[in-house]
Amino acid sequence: MALKNEILLLYFVCLALTCIDANILENDKYWTNHEQEFDGYWKQRAEIAKNDNLKAYFPDPYEVSGNFTSAISEYVIVLIINVIFKGRIRGAACMATNPIDRCWRCDPNWANNRQKLADCVQGFGRNTIGGKGGKFYVVNDSSDGDLLSPKPGTIRHAVTRTEPLWIIFSRSMVIKLQQELIMASNKTIDGRGFDVQIANGAGITVQFIKNVIIHGIKVYNTVVKTGGMIRDSETHYGFRTQSDGDGISIFGASNIWIDHVSMRNCSDGLIDAIMGSTAITISNGHYTDHNEVMLFGASDSYTGDKIMQITLAFNHYGKRCVQRMPRARHGFVHVVNNDYTHWEMYAIGGSKNPTIISEGNRFIAPENRFAKEITKREYAEESIWKNWQWRSINDEYLNGAFFVQSGAELKNRPFSREDMITAKPGTYVGRLTRFAGVLPCKIGQPC
């Protein structure tokens, strides 16, 4: 309670000072933290990643979010049929409650058909295939003892391999990472079937790579680590400075899909996407116990984040989440059918003209009458932010929640009848997000 009051006090002091200092610090932090690592090797990787990220970027974002919306609408029709026929239609009794889950969860044979998951992603990350087509790699060892020559069977050995891999686990395990886990391209981490936890150590780094799926794991209590010599791929290791402490840090990377994760209490963001990262879908996650939940774009001055396109769908922002769900800069964020049952300061914020299309979400404001506003603009006068396109379409506001819209109405996209059904969240969001977080899948049964 005392801590909560302190945070609130800090918040109002910040408001009064418009947090200018905090912004400068934030800008510097990412640069100074990472500058030294950018030796020839990482500079080269940054260049390659920049091209990949540009290719992954959709010049017409409305087209993608439009398609996503109609897919959800289709689902709602199935849901209605399901209710009318009480599950008598073959397959209709399955408990998958949203179109991403519906694509795989009802298959009792999912464990022999794991790579099917890669066909299920929607939204901006929809071209992500992770390790599809690659071999399965079974992680059977929870240790993280050797950062330079990781032992075969460990997660660090798996994620640093060159070839595409679909990484699964032989049993439930808690993995305490000694230093950040630096992933290579074309990987899926698939925790289904076991209780896989990345906890009490460093977090996951997705830097200058593409094509990564992270599914069905818990990430919590991650901490800042000192850095040092760490292997980052099969062919290279190098010196890393201190890690940020994020649960999952997406840095100059594209085609990323994070689905059904449960995350809490990481020492920086739960999921941050920065430095021109794009083509990302974050879906079906459950987030609790965290101050700065998701940061998309770390620096007002980094205009490379203009290509950032991120879909947030069917996530549940739950107990003791404070702010940044997300906080965005420059890019385009489609926030669709998420359940915001808790925040303490605000839910969605940003600076530097990000486009935020909030559609069919449920927002339940906290009791604090000073924190009813869903939105928060930073470092700009109203005369500036009034032009930022932040639109709320068919969102549901409860307990006094309100969304301050700005910018042009969303026009150049089709609103069919199905779209209108999607946009009645009060009835649907609870159900669409009912299974957010890690699913207790059992091999041999529908999940």
Catalytic residues: 324
Nearer to ligand NAG, 162 or 301 (CB): 162
List, in order, residues 6 or more apart from 118 with CB less than 8 Å away: 128, 129, 130, 132, 188, 213
Nearer to ligand NAG, 170 or 427 (CB): 170
Nearer to ligand NAG, 294 or 429 (CB): 294
Q: List residues binding ligand NAG (CB under 6 A).
A: 63-64, 67, 140-141, 152-153, 162, 164, 185-186, 200, 211, 221, 223, 265, 289
239 burial class (0-12, 13-18, 19+ CB within 10 angstroms)? exposed
Backbone angles phi, psi at 52, to 5 degrees: -65, -40
Nearest approach in angstroms of CB 406 to ligand NAG is: 26
- Tell how strand 228-233 and strand 236-240 pair up: antiparallel
Nearer to ligand NAG, 185 or 249 (CB): 185
Nearer to ligand NAG, 233 or 361 (CB): 233
Token pair of 178, please? 């000694």
Nearer to ligand NAG, 188 or 433 (CB): 188
Residue position matching structure tokens 């464990």: 111
Chain centroid to Cα 36, Å, comes to 27
* Of residues 444, 408, 339, the one with CA closest to residue 108: 444
Nearer to ligand NAG, 222 or 392 (CB): 222
Chain centroid to Cα 308, Å, comes to 13
Backbone angles phi, psi at 136, to 5 degrees: -85, 140
Nearest approach in angstroms of CB 162 to ligand NAG is: 6
Strand ranges (E), 79-203: 135-139, 165-169, 173-175, 181-182, 187-190, 196-199
Question: Helices 425-432 and 61-84 sit at what angle, rounded to 10 degrees?
Answer: 90
Token pair of 323, please? 């702010």
Token pair of 85, please? 């026929």
Nearer to ligand NAG, 135 or 442 (CB): 135
Backbone dihedral region for residue 135 (phi beyond 0: left; psi -120 to 50: alpha; all else: beta): beta
Euclidean distance between CA atoms 292 and 397, whole angstroms: 22
Nearest approach in angstroms of CB 139 to ligand NAG is: 8
- The residue of the chain with the least Cβ separation from ligand NAG equals 153
CB-based contact 322:294 (threshold 8 Å): no
Nearest approach in angstroms of CB 331 to ligand NAG is: 17
Backbone angles phi, psi at 145, to 5 degrees: -85, -30
CB-based contact 274:250 (threshold 8 Å): yes
Nearest approach in angstroms of CB 223 to ligand NAG is: 5
CB-based contact 270:290 (threshold 8 Å): yes
Nearest approach in angstroms of CB 51 to ligand NAG is: 12
Strand partners, 182: 205
Nearest approach in angstroms of CB 185 to ligand NAG is: 4
Nearest approach in angstroms of CB 403 to ligand NAG is: 27
